[in-house]
Amino acid sequence: MRRRVAAIAVAGVLGTVLAAVWGVRVLRDLDAQIEARFAGRMFSVPSTVYAAPLVLYPGLDADRVGLLDRLERLRYERVRGPAVDLGQYAELPDGLRIGLRPFRYPYRNDPGGVVDVLLDEDRRIIGIEDESGLELSLEEVEPEIIAELHGPIRADRRLVLLEEFPAVLVDTVLAVEDQRFFDHPGVDVRRIVGAFLANLRAGRIVQGGSTLTQQLVKNLYLTPERTIRRKIREAVMAILLERRHSKQELLEVYLNEVYMGQRGSVAVHGMGEAAFHYLARDVRDIGLSEAALLVGLIKGPNLYSPYSRPEVTQARRDVVLKAIRDHHRITDEEYERAVAVSVEVREPSRDENLAPYFADHLHADLTRVYGEDILQSEGLAIYTTLDVRLQRLAERSVVRGLERLEARIPALRSEEFPLQAALVALIPRTGEILALVGGRDYPTGPYNRATHARRQPGSVFKPVVALAALSRRGADPPSHTLASPLLDEPLEVKAPGLIWSPVNYDGNFRGEVTLRTAVESSLNVPVARLGLDVGPERIIATARRLGVQGRLRPVPSIALGVFEVTLLEAARAYAVLAAEGLRPELRSYVEVLDEKGEILEHKPLEFSRVFTPEETYLVTSILEGAVDRGTARGLRRMGFEGPIAAKTGTTSSYRDAWFLAYVPGLLIGVWVGFDDGRSIRAPGSVAALPIAAEFLLEAVGPEGRGPFVRPSGVVEAEVDLPTRSREYFLAGTEPDRERTGPIQRLFDWLGRRDGF
């Protein structure tokens, strides 16, 4: 008997020791698990991509830039006024009153504020004033979010410091979720017992016993299964967590982590994101009623979602308000006021498909610098060059243009391999990409034709040949002028194994034409002759100076664009013409900030002068002529009246249709075609021009943006040509003794041939 007792005692001690050892081991593992998460990065915060802000200034056409649409897209609440809060706007008799939200720009934290934007009867801004009546020369409306770069765990979160959360929100969370948060060690035994009894009485689960810390443990570390084992583990981990971290730290993590619903496939985490998602408000600015609404969602964000059953949301909010009143956190008066406020949530307007091709292009740029992991998890803020209004306009123009073309030529309709188009708009001198469309429909085809599809440029390359001919050759004058004659007669170029015999689009020959006419009218034969005169090597050198990077073979057909480029490359080449000889480095973003707001990268404006303004002006003059007299005159028929330079392009068998055009300060390029190279049965003037025209008419108006200014180094001289009597020349290359006016003739007589 004694022996049995001793054996049992030994077994007991042994068992206890083993259990203790095992327990310590388990505790150590749990502790390590907890600390691994807290020591590293707590949360994966996706990077946010912003469009360019809208700058308001006197003289700006508020309707043309879509100011009201922008405020709506930014989820500014329209109110009757005259008083507005931040995040609201009101239409007043003489303009708009806008409560601009705070926003963190790259180099400054704008606190926001109320401004009056005064408008005339044409809806042009005539003044901007702040609340005190001080006149402002400029004001910015914060940029829209165009994308978030998520990782495999698609979650949105706006990190907020504990001290930034409104006290009313923190109090409400604690009152409803964990009243004794600051007193318990991670587990609240009283709460557990109370919940047990309540659930027993009700015969079902009506009350939870978990503390905030336990909820945090469950969300961060454990599965949501409801088992005894999991609950024990949760309790132990909560205690360990509390031993390692302060209450403030844990509360902050909780408020940034708590699951608050879904936005499509993306989970909404944290009160900061929830305030933006449901209320279009910064969480720092919310009041009691809104705080109660958000806290009410914690128990079941999808169950109580205001987007499915707003009456349930309101009822739940009122329950929360009652609870905090009953716990004396608010007065009866505060309760009555809050309950009287009806629940108003804002539909999330963040369009995940806003500028998807642009976002992809940007993503590729950024990934090269930062890597996928950082982009997806470190909450970078990326400030881009995108103009949302122009982007939407571009997308609309592409879709409508293709539909119109298919209506005109029904044989182009194809379900399986639809007709495609791409569009790029940029600021020539700065290289900023304002809009980018890579295809007709991103969801069905994210292939970015603007940046990846290499197609033959055809006739849109002719201005490059002209530039090669019209620009100086080092210290030597150019080989040609705009008035240089070119033969438009049958041409055969013999090469080993083949004979190249270009023809004009209409099959006709015109005898002799000027260089200007050859390019304005897009005549293949005289331009081919020009290319032979200039030489393929010089043409290639010119193209390289314009930034063309693809493979260029020094063959005669290069003059007619028989090689491949992307639309973006072609646009950049034309940007040099539009920028009067400056070649910009293209930019899709300007600044990257880390989540603390520190500048990680500034992508600077870079440009180099590759041609003189005089040389490029001559080509611009040709392209203006193409609109007034040549193959781009469809622009005039469609209503564009102002100065504009443009070139159509069509490749053999109508495989590609191109249109590139520019006004001062804006360039647009359009390509239309099938991915498999089938004929689109229409030239550039029919397929691509109308898309560009629609875009331009709305982007800059029919009057355009003013004239192209002739540089002083370009002179106008009399010429004796069938098509015109005056022509532009680089100074010093104009024909001899062809002068304007009697004064020059007087000087000639007096022996001063070079003028006064």
Q: Which residues contribute to the site for other proteins (CB under 8 A)? A: 52, 55, 57-60, 106-108, 137-138, 427-430, 432, 579, 582, 590-591, 599-602, 604-609, 613, 664-665, 706, 709, 711-712, 747, 750-752, 756
User: Cα separation of 567 and 420, whole Å?
Assistant: 13
Nearer to other proteins, 163 or 754 (CB): 754
| Nearest approach, Cβ of residue 750 and other proteins (Å) | 4
Residue 466, Cβ density class (10 Å: 0-12 exposed, 13-18 middle, ≥19 buried): buried
Nearer to other proteins, 535 or 711 (CB): 711
Q: If we measure between CA atoms, which residue out of 370, 355, 364 comes closest to residue 437? A: 355
CB-CB contact of 658 with 669 (8 Å): yes
Q: Which of 77, 139, 142, 177 is catalytic?
A: 177
CA dihedral 608, 382, 549, 655 (to 10 degrees): -130
Residue 688, Cβ density class (10 Å: 0-12 exposed, 13-18 middle, ≥19 buried): buried
Which amino acid, residue 318? D
User: Cα separation of 317 and 305, whole Å?
Assistant: 11
**3-state secondary structure labels for all residues of 511-523:** EEEEHHHHHHCCC
Query: Can 459 be counted among the known catalytic residues?
Result: yes
- What is the side-by-side order of every strand in the sheet holding 645-650? 433-437, 420-426, 666-673, 656-663, 645-650
Nearer to other proteins, 434 or 623 (CB): 434
The number of beta carbons lying within 10 Å of the beta carbon of residue 321 is 28
Nearer to other proteins, 37 or 603 (CB): 603
**735 by DSSP, 3-state: which?**
coil
Nearer to other proteins, 220 or 610 (CB): 610
Which amino acid, residue 706? G
Containing H/E element for 166? none
CA distances from 143 to 42, 449, 466, 471, 630 (A): 28, 27, 41, 42, 40
Nearer to other proteins, 137 or 725 (CB): 137
Nearer to other proteins, 233 or 472 (CB): 472
**450 by DSSP, 3-state: which?**
helix
| Nearest approach, Cβ of residue 647 and other proteins (Å) | 21
User: Cα separation of 452 and 566, whole Å?
Assistant: 6
User: Cα separation of 143 and 398, whole Å?
Assistant: 24
Contacts of 126 (CB under 8 A, 6+ apart): 58, 118, 119, 120
| Nearest approach, Cβ of residue 151 and other proteins (Å) | 25
| Nearest approach, Cβ of residue 138 and other proteins (Å) | 6
Nearer to other proteins, 408 or 609 (CB): 609
CB-CB contact of 530 with 518 (8 Å): yes
Q: Which of 210, 305, 459, 685 is catalytic?
A: 459
Query: Can 621 be counted among the known catalytic residues?
Result: no
Tell me which residues are annotated as active site: 177, 459
